[in-house]
Every structure is written in C-alpha cells, then in structure tokens.
Structure 1
Amino acid sequence: MVRDYSAFLLGAKTTQRTPTVLEGLGWSPVFARQIDADALTATPPVRVLSVHRSGLQVAGDGIEETIPPGPEATVGDWLLMERARPRSSQVLDRKSLIKRRAPGTGREVQLIAANIDTVFVVTSCNTDFNIARLERYVALAFEADIEPVIVLTKADLAEDPASYVTAARAISDRVPVVALDARGDEPAQALVDWCKPGRTVAFLGSSGVGKSMLSNALLSAQAIATQGIREDDAKGRHTTTRRELHVTPGGCLVLDTPGMRELQLTEAAEGIAGVFEDIEAMAAQCRFADCQHETEPGCAIRTAVDDDRLDPARLARWRKLQAEDAFNSASLAERREKDRAFGKIVRSAVGAKPRNKK
C-alpha cells in the first residue's frame, strides 16, 4: 500500500486534527522543507530512537525496526530510509545538534543527540552542584540553538534550596530555573510547559542527579532503571547506559542520557558568548580590539574586576572555556598542518647540528 504523506509536507492545511504518526515522533516543517511527496513515498522518513553497535533503532509510519550501521546519525536524527540499501539512508538536515569532544586523548567530535527542542540541565541541591559545570551545559545548549532549563533536584532534602536557585539563576537571565522533588508527580507538573506533544526534550547532567527518575515521572512508568547516590560524596552511580528516545502518554518525546564524566566543548564559541554576555559586553568596551584583558591600558574587564563589578572567578571560567573551545575546535587539517610545520622545524634543527667528530 502506498501511503499518503501529503499531511507531512510544508503548506499542508493545519486545521484541528489528530497528529499523524510522524508528527507524534517530532516531524515538523523544518524537515518537510527538505523533501517532496515523491521522495517521501520512495524513501519513508524514520526517526532514530537509539543507536547500538549492531545498528540504528528507527521508527516511522508503520515502521519500527533496526537497520544496519552506516548512516552517520545519532539519536533524534531523521532519516529517509532506503529500503533496498538501508546503509545509504540519507540523514536530513538537523534543526539542532548536541556534540562534544569525545573522551580520551584524541580530539574527535562525538554526536550526543539531534533535533532536541529543550534541554533540561539537571543537578542536585547538594555537593554535586557546580556552577562551572552548569555553565558548560548551558553553553552547549545555546550553541545548538536549544532552549535550556536548569532543573535542581533533591530540593526537598536541602536546608536552603533558595541559595541553589539564586546561584543557578545568576548563570544567565535567559535560562529558567526549576527546583523540585524528582519523585512523584511534581516533575510532570513543573515541566509541563516544555513537554508538549511532538516536542523532544533531553535530560543532561551528572550521574545520580535524578535524570532517569525525572524521565520516569514524565513517562508515568518505571521505564528506566534508577539508582541512588553514594552517601560519602553525593556522587551518582551510572544507571542509564545509552541514549534512547521514549514517548510519554502526553505525546512528548523524552531523551534520557548517561551521566557525563567529561564535557569538553568544541565549536561552541557562540554558546560560550551567550552564557557570558556580561563579559562579552565589557570586552567590546576595551580600548584595544585585541585586548587580552591582562595589563593593557583601557581594559574594561580589568576595571570591572577592580571595581568589584565582575567576579574574578567568573572571569577565569570564561577564559578557561574560551581556551578549551579554541583548542578543541582546531580542525584536523589545521592540527596536521601545525604538526607538519613543527616536524620540519625539528628536522631542520636536528640536521643543522654539527656531527660529532670521531
């Protein structure tokens, strides 16, 4: 049977109706603009629900299966599935992409998730709370053009939860902050404004902060295993071992993710600037365009520090993220070119040394 995909195309009438299967999976005009009706029929769109070593778990209209590895896709991607050659399935242009530098000694980029509408940056009202880590996650969301929301769990156990809320709000006035108890019905009520039908949300944060518990609260089921934290240091145990999309009873798609021990930013200059808008504005007022904010005369940033208008710790975090991003963002070609140039210098220096006389 040939399916009618006309409702998925840009310009289709938007009268009150039951969402289609694809719309329930997050299909929107962003993707409809990239394809016509004939292509939709020949290569039906499917969304990647999870990625395994054995392949990609995908779902679409009347489709739910695992296809072999091949397309360079991540969780949340939309593919135009080639039935005869699934390895050649096309990945549609993304409306958002979360990525980081892959853990380890290399500088490869690891894709985390695609086509996310809202990121819930989760931390606890205990010793896990870390401003620098929250700034990283928010910069990651800003760079991906995703709406970030900071969610503070274990507020019911904290002696002074208001202090955590105040500290989190100081990160950016563009980021809402929600403090809650991750158990029971409170998460579904507190996060309802961001969890609309057809929207995709993701929980990011360290292990043990309650990401899986929050996901279960939205799913109204114990669909994802949970574990407690270690009592000695409030650090979490890994529960979620892979990224996977789940559909809530209300039609929202939820991505639970494993805790990230390391979050190295790459190609995130705009996201960092978004988190540190106050410092960026000060830098624009420096006398010299190439001011390094050290000892140069007319440095607006140093003046702000001296006048107690800028916290030196915040300035240090801005510098650190900028340096890290610049280092990680250097392209492979640039790095190889620098390595070759350095190798030539070394070889030239070695060749210029006088040989030892026997």
Structure 2
Amino acid sequence: MLVAYGPDGHPIVAEETPLDQLQRWSHERALLCPNCRGVVHVRGGPEKRTQLHFAHQKGECAWSTEAESVRHARGKSVLAHWLSVQFPQAAITLEERLPEPNRVADVFIRHKHGACWAVEFQCAPLDIHEWQHRHSAYRHAHILDIWIIGNNRREKQEAFIEAVIATAREALFLDPLAVPPAAWLRWPVSYETLQLWPQGTAWRPSLEGWVGRLGYCASLHDQLYNMRLGEQGLLIHPARATLEKRTQLLQAMAVAPSVDEVSLLSYLGQNASEEAVRGVILPLLRAYLRDPDLLRRYNFGRGSPHQPLREEDALRVQRAMDWLLSLAKKGYSATCLQGLLKELPFVGPYAAFARYYEMLLDLLDSTSS
C-alpha cells in the first residue's frame, strides 16, 4: 500500500514523505493501515530498488493490497500525479476507502463542484461479472468510475476490456514503468471511417487499426502526459481530435457535388505548408476546374475510344507538365510533389482532381526516364 496513517492520525503518502521520517515512525510502530488500523512498516526505497510502500508485519487484513505487482503500485502513483497536474483544485487521494460502494479506489478525485471520480488501474485479469458489479456499485454511489488498464493486457481480448470500451467508448492502456510513462488510447470506429482515412504520412504515424470482437478500433500510442481527461471524464488527445475533425470533413467531401476550394484548404490544414498549397495545389486545382473532363479525354495521351486525342487537350496537358517542371527551380523536387499528392483526399469529386495530379506526375516521370 502507498498510503498509511501517521502518528497524528492523518494519511501520509510514502513517496511524499522523507525516508528517514518514515523509518523512525516505522521503528516506533506509529504507522497504521488506513483500513484495518493494524501496524504497518515502511518497505522498499532506492537501496532496495523497489517503490517505497507500507506493509503489514504479519498476516493480511481484509482490505490488504500487499500482493499487488510493481506495475500496479507504480501505476497508481503515476496516475495520481497525472491527475493532480490536470486538476490542481481537486482533492486527489491514493487508495481511498469508500464505505459506499465498499471498495478501495486506486485513485479518488473530489472536484470542487462536488463531482467524484474513482480511477481504477487494472493490471490483473478481471471477470466480466465482477467488473459489472463494481461499475454498477460506483454508479449507484454517484461516482464516475474510470478504468485504466495495464499495458500487460493490451493485446488480450477480454470481456471486461470490451465492456469498458462499449461503456465509455474508449479505453486507456498504461505502462507506468516506461520513462516517461507510455499510454495507448483505443476507441471504436466504423469500417467506413477507417476506409476514409488517407495514407498521408504527415499525421498518421502514431495510429494503427485494431480489430477485436466488437469490431474496429483506432489505437494511438503516445506519452501519458500528452493525454488528459476532460471535464466529463473523457480522454483527450490532440491527434485524436484532429483525426475526428478531419474524418467529419472527409465524410462531407465524399458526398459533395463538386470540389470546393475552401473545404480542400481546411482539409489540408497543417499537413501541407501554405506555400505549397498556394504555389502548387491551388493553381493545379483551378486549371482542373476549368475543364474537369480533360482527364478522361486525354487518357494519358491516347484519347478515348470514341474521341481521338485533341490537339488543344495535348497542349493544355503539356503546359501543365512544363509548369510542374518549372517548380523544381523553386525547390519542389519530384519527391516533394509526390508527397503533396499523398495528402490529397481520394474521396468523392476530389478523387478526380487527385487522379489528374497523379496523371501529370506519371507523365513527367515517364518522359524524364
């Protein structure tokens, strides 16, 4: 356990109290278990290379957590610190004994406005019926229970993990032993949403698809301290917020009747520089919009079965290729132009513009080789 009662009857946290003070109180048998009021002693510390904690000298009380793993003990401390940074006005306690629902919460938060949260760090297997019992008991006591799962269970398909995702619409896996602590945020998404995600490299390297018995999930890996809890107890990460915003925009673009310049600029956002967008993408887009059917008619210089290649079409495409070649003098290499192509949305009417750009690059590549 990480918390004990000191000589004055007030709770003390092992890692927040000088070691020599703890050792003196331990020798004087002045440290008490907050649950059974039995004598506990200080254990661990830097010399023993284990986390500083308290333990009963013999036997166990009914509330004892002494068999917990190093991961679980460290995780509680990490989470308490993470939460205290986010909610400096709240009262945050470790191993809070709650008479209702008759449990010890790993980390307990009392907000100034009265809301109470219990954060449970689950590293061991948990029966689904036991999870449902604990979840219902917390809700009956008007306590929001937030379940964070040890990274040792991240690749397992367990009923209680699926229940957490189904209830909260997300789950957080934590490795508290990593430096700095690492976390994986997982939330459910539809197959259609996954299909909409582009393959651009500027904004997706930390995301991976994950499939469980409930369906598809997105999984985002980052440091714990780059994530936070919102006022409703929901997890927030900038990449997730950006992804969800862009997905909504993609859904609208997929059913749009025509290409809209403003929507395209909004979609590209920070993934392409303003200079590249205004110097490459927009001029090409405006040329394309003057004759969207050019791509079909030109057909890589072959024309269409019922319409031979027109001289004016060939001239327009050649001018576009010459213009792209001139961009090399401004620092836009072939690799750079290919990178911009990857950032374009291949949905709805925007896909035709992307294919037009792709055709020009392919023609340039074939002529240069």
**TM-score of the two chains, using structure 1 as the length reference:** 0.24
- Give the structure with the larger helix fraction: 2
Bigger Rg over Cα = 2
Name which structure has the greater RCO, CA cutoff 8 Å, separation 6+. 1
